[in-house]
Structure 1
């Protein structure tokens, strides 16, 4: 069966949300291999996604020049793709499957790529001329491309993004880092404390200390942007483990998958934690979780009351007591962790 190519978004969180559309395409074309195109930082996550065969890498924001796009198109031409779904509206992205001669190039022509995009979802004109704030979430937009603009019928639920870390990878990661699988672990994703999406440093430290007193491991996950926050937490709690220097994002997925519960804020890593399926508590500014948060049903969102100052963005209205209660509830209602 001829394979299908899906052009995904480059940021980690956006790429993960594209997995909802990939699942729809896989159900529509059972047995057809599905490959994805995304950025270098997101591409390693493709191997953790059911239905994805492999990932092609392009520079983030589609910055490569015409020569680089032509080179990628020549490589894609050898794969004999049946169709390309363009989950991004970028003209630079749309040029690649056109140059590769992929017969069907499906997407919304938001940058007027008529001819380059040659199969338009139902309602494409209404979507192209819409003004004002977006009325649909990003994951609904990418699913609309996969469903050719058709609305979900009856009780149909759009699929949640999913990622799976192979058990052997998880076991190998525990061995490399000397992790005791029997000891509960709290994974913290803080973002930068100066970021409007973050929660105050002292509250993260208080939560970390509370769990450490009860015999838990505390792991700080993320990347370069979280290193300063990790240093602040470790200054107050030296036994906390700083994983923010992890060079490989798939290692970060092992950290999250191996933890007992994940506590984080708005950001790409929170989408990864949700897609991995473990207990997940997320702190968001008011009214932001619906628009930018993960869509996985098991996630517990904590938002500031709408009456607090700066209520659209600020997270200070979320108390430590609410977070502790949510963490305990998340663990208690996860079958694989009950009685642990």
Structure 2
């Protein structure tokens, strides 16, 4: 059986899709799975053993370009795919497998996808977690009645990205990094918006405390996060600056994935890197502001979730509707430090 996946465009969502690929491989051990994804997500797919080929999507997020989609779909016809799983909800995401003439095209009901999909699922909201929505597509429609039919979320297959130790060592050498003392990673960015970002001052406080306790701190993020990580590093005492490594904007996504795997614990906003860190085996302290762990939790057995319980959260907004960001500002650094200490004490037992 040959399968084509039309992948989502967000890094965190991409990581969670691995649970679907693992499920498909369990059902059809001899199947071959290819995935079509934006260029920036390809490094994630390439670290998934279940994927035969990661195919670059030539269009950016939101671009329609009907002609390019037709040409790409037509070029895929000779691959003779049996099934396509269309994971985004847009109509345009369903065009390529339609043009590729893939016999069975499975996905959730979205914007004007009638005809483009011939196995259309219409009960997405019956599944609480995003990972359930992905995994359920691997099963017949009549059996997927809602959360619980797949078992407990903890029983679902968890993403596990493959790390090549030799490549990782070369990346450590490139950035002149050492694995001692123990590393705590901080991921203070969130592409979605400021309502997901814990204040830099709070990150700076825990960075200083961790260094005081004998750890080194690595800061992760994209070029867009560099101003944030610069501020966090600045908040650390001058005498301790050598214990802070500011990697934001300096690494490729591929390099960031490998370096995250070196961390004992990662403290992160609800972001793509949080899901990456979970998938490479780190302990996770997940900080939730406007979003909810009841929808997109990090998929790991080693997770501490922290959030405030003020009345207006979760609002799922990019920016605070009340302009106070209390859901994040009122979440104090000592709460996060307690979670980190819990992981350390557990390992020491």
TM-score by length of 1: 0.87
CA contact (8 A) 1:303 1:317 kept: no
Q: Deviations over 1:204-240 (max 9, x none)?
A: 1111111222332211101123111111122222332
1:274 positional shift: 1.3
CA contact (8 A) 1:279 1:331 kept: no
* Segment of structure 1 superposing worse, 53-62 or 247-256: 53-62
CA contact (8 A) 2:34 2:52 kept: yes
1:309 positional shift: 6.4
- Given the alignment of the two structures, is residue 251 of structure 1 paired with residue 264 of structure 2, yes or no? no
1:153 positional shift: 5.5
The structure-2 alpha-carbon separation of the partners of 1:74 and 1:211, relative to structure 1 and needing over 3 Å to count, comes to same
State how far apart, in whole Å, the 2-side matches of 1:19 and 1:230 are.
29
- Given the alignment of the two structures, is residue 290 of structure 1 paired with residue 294 of structure 2, yes or no? yes
1:51 positional shift: 0.7
4+ residue segments displaced more than 4 Å: 153-156
Matches within 5 A, 1:30-41: 30-41=29-40
Q: Deviations over 1:155-184 (max 9, x none)?
A: 793222221222222222122222222321
- Given the alignment of the two structures, is residue 210 of structure 1 paired with residue 206 of structure 2, yes or no? no
Q: CA RMSD in A?
A: 2.5
Extract unaligned runs of 5+ from structure 1: none
Extract unaligned runs of 5+ from structure 2: 316-326
* Segment of structure 1 superposing worse, 25-34 or 172-181: 172-181
Matches within 5 A, 1:144-293: 144-149=136-141, 150-151=143-144, 152=149, 157-191=155-189, 195-237=194-236, 238-239=241-242, 240-285=244-289, 288-293=292-297
CA contact (8 A) 2:86 2:105 kept: yes
- Given the alignment of the two structures, is residue 90 of structure 1 paired with residue 90 of structure 2, yes or no? yes
TM-score by length of 2: 0.85
Q: Deviations over 1:293-330 (max 9, x none)?
A: 323332111111x2x46443612332222211211222
State how far apart, in whole Å, the 1-side matches of 2:73 and 2:291 are.
41
CA contact (8 A) 1:163 1:276 kept: yes
The residue matched to 1:333 in structure 2 has which SS?
helix
